[in-house]
Structure 1
């Protein structure tokens, strides 16, 4: 049973926001937090057998290479980027969908199957300081997860500031963009004419605490960044498991 705990720090505008965690073993092993890393080695036929749909949703612009993973509607422009940076560029975002839900979202930097996984952390977070079954993740309270460059957060905050008092960003801006994709995902541009965008997507069964992981190659370079929303269990077929 995964125990959920909170580590508090000031990370959003004017708010004392919890940086949550999910359970993990005393000596941390990424496999204790997600049983789905092997999904990247599955063939199309194996994915189909497990009823996992792979859905590409577009390229994410990362002009700084500093990535924010969060619920885009409950954080502000003080939310920090992940500690590890990648080379600036544009990278493909893809969803794993199962049981009619977004089970995981990943950002692909280079081809290949990861050989090692590590927890994605924020500045000041130290995996070695976690006790018992804890693991860092991000809180979701609006039913959405996202990937974005750190510059995108400021652009969206500026767009939100332009709304009228009786408007909200989802209903008055995002809803029409989500609708063509059955409300599952959107590649949102917070500033018209600016290529910087935000990949937004359903967060599994909804609100909760969700960890993000770096999938690394043999030299320690990142191949993918994945957020696991807890819909799948043993999706790679280990011990005969598949979707929960």
Structure 2
């Protein structure tokens, strides 16, 4: 299901937006299907214009102490975006990078997914992520990140609210892409910041699971790869 714009915002606030995909009329979402999911997979992946080279690169380690991870546009909705449950721990943050240049020469690389790797167990399914206490999405609705500054981020969902600077620019401690300590956080909590694929838009948050249902990752899908 390609999400190319917002048709109706169903819920915002702390849960993050739950929106309709443009032109979607099916009763149940076709996406996500594991065959359309390409995070953390180096090699090649399909796009509308053919298969493209894909690489993966580590961004750093994210510290989670509250059992919640916020997925946000760090320059617009930091400390106010949707939060998703994950086990406490320190996890790899990985960018899946697609070479979208016409000649596949590396001149137009785009971040296709920002992923929080929760487990090395094999992934057997991918699902639409749901914030705790919120209804599961139905039809073509999804929870995700509304992006208006061309960036996406993961951060400990409690620390980013408790210690977020209150000055005119609370995101001033962020300098481009990378890992940044949350000012004042007591237990090493930090924020992972990345470019967001094609830039502004609305991007689904997905969770991958092992055969026993345990989570293997949390992912922001910037809709660069797959059957869109």
TM-score, normalising length from structure 2?
0.77
Question: How far off its partner does 1:52 sit?
Answer: 0.9
Q: Deviation per CA, 1:84-113: give whole Å up to 9, x if none.
A: x22211000000111311111111111133
Query: Is the 1:22–1:136 contact (alpha carbons within 8 Å) kept by the matching residues of 2?
Result: no
Choose which of 98, 113, 122 in structure 1 pairs with 2:122.
Answer: 113
Per-residue deviation at 1:65?
1.8
Q: Secondary structure at the match of 2:174?
A: helix
Deviation at 1:118, TM superposition (A): 1.2
Following TM superposition, by how much is the alpha carbon of 1:155 offset from its aligned partner in structure 2, in angstroms?
4.9
Q: Deviations over 1:134-168 (max 9, x none)?
A: 333221111111111112322553x2x235xxxx4
What are the equivalent positions in structure 2 for 1:134-149 lying under 5 Å apart? 134-149=141-156
| Residue 102 (1) aligns with residue 104 (2) | no
The correspondence of residues 20-35 of structure 1 with structure 2, limited to 5 A, is 20-22=19-21, 25-31=26-32
**Distance (whole Å) between structure 1 residues aligned to residue 205 and residue 197 of structure 2:** 13
Q: How does 1:24-103 map to 2 (within 5 A)?
A: 25-31=26-32, 36-40=36-40, 42=41, 44=42, 50-82=52-84, 85-98=85-98, 99=100, 100-103=109-112
Correspondence 1:191-210 to 2 at 5 A: 191=183, 194=186, 195-210=188-203
String of CA shifts for 1:4-40, please: whole Å, max 9, x gaps: 433344516xxxx8543436641234336x8642555
SS at match of 2:60: strand
Q: Aligned to 1:20, what secondary structure does the other structure show?
A: strand
- SS of the residue corresponding to residue 51 of structure 1 reads strand
Shift of 1:122: 2.4
Contact 1:19 1:139 (8 Å CA) reproduced: no
Which portions of structure 1, spanning 4 or more consecutive aligned residues, are displaced by more than 6 angstroms?
A: none
Taking the aligned partners of 1:58 and 1:96, their CA distance within structure 2 comes to 13
Q: 1:211 aligns with which of 204, 213, 221?
A: 204
* Alignment partners' CA distance in 2, 1:135 and 1:19: 5
Rounded Cα–Cα distance in structure 1 between residues aligned with 2:221 and 2:94:
12
Match of 1:230 among 205, 223, 228: 223
Query: Which residue of 1 is the match for residue 159 of structure 2?
Result: 152
Cα distance, 1:193 vs. partner? 7.3
- Classify the secondary structure of the residue corresponding to 2:206: strand
In structure 1, the gaps of 5 or more residues are 179-184, 235-243
Deviation at 1:45, TM superposition (A): 5.1
**Contact 1:76–1:153 (8 Å) recurs in 2:** yes
- Structure having the higher strand fraction is 2
Going from structure 1 to structure 2, the CA distance change for 1:78 and 1:204 (only over 3 Å counts) comes to closer
CA deviation vs aligned residue, 1:165-205 (integer Å, no higher than 9, x gap): xxx456x5433xx2xxxxxx211112167511001111111
CA contact (8 A) 1:216 1:222 kept: yes
